[in-house]
Amino acid sequence: MSHGVWCYKTTRGKTPPKSVIPSKKPIKVELVGGKRYSWCTCGYSRKQPFCDGTHKTKAEGMKGLRFVPEKDSTVWLCGCKHTNNSPYCDGTHKQDFIASAPLHEYTD
């Protein structure tokens, strides 16, 4: 069973895009309260865990997940893109289907 955030436009006859796994570990970040962030949902961003817009060409129909933390905090954001608590890590990366999956390798 696949988990994660799948934000896509529904188009008849098209398969929704799937995210790739850029990391099998969560990514520790310092967030500023009240600041808007965009978490990468597709896994193709070179600015993990944040979105850089790569989904527009690599995972058409997906988009970053925008969020605003209430206060300054240190958090662990999901690196495998399969959390059920987006954008935060929920430990899904420890499951066999993530552990046995290939990591995304950047090209170009």
Range of the structural domain that residue 86 is part of: 33-100
Query: pLDDT tens digits for 54-96?
Result: 999 999 999 999 999 999 999 999 999 999 999 999 999 999 9
Query: pLDDT tens digits for 16-36?
Result: 788 899 999 999 999 999 999
Domain assignment present for residue 70? The answer is: yes
Distances (CA, A) of 68 to 13, 32, 44, 74: 35, 9, 22, 14
8 A C-beta contact, residue 106 and residue 66? no
Q: What is the pTM of this model?
A: 0.83
| Number of domains the chain contains | 1
Domain assignment present for residue 47? The answer is: yes
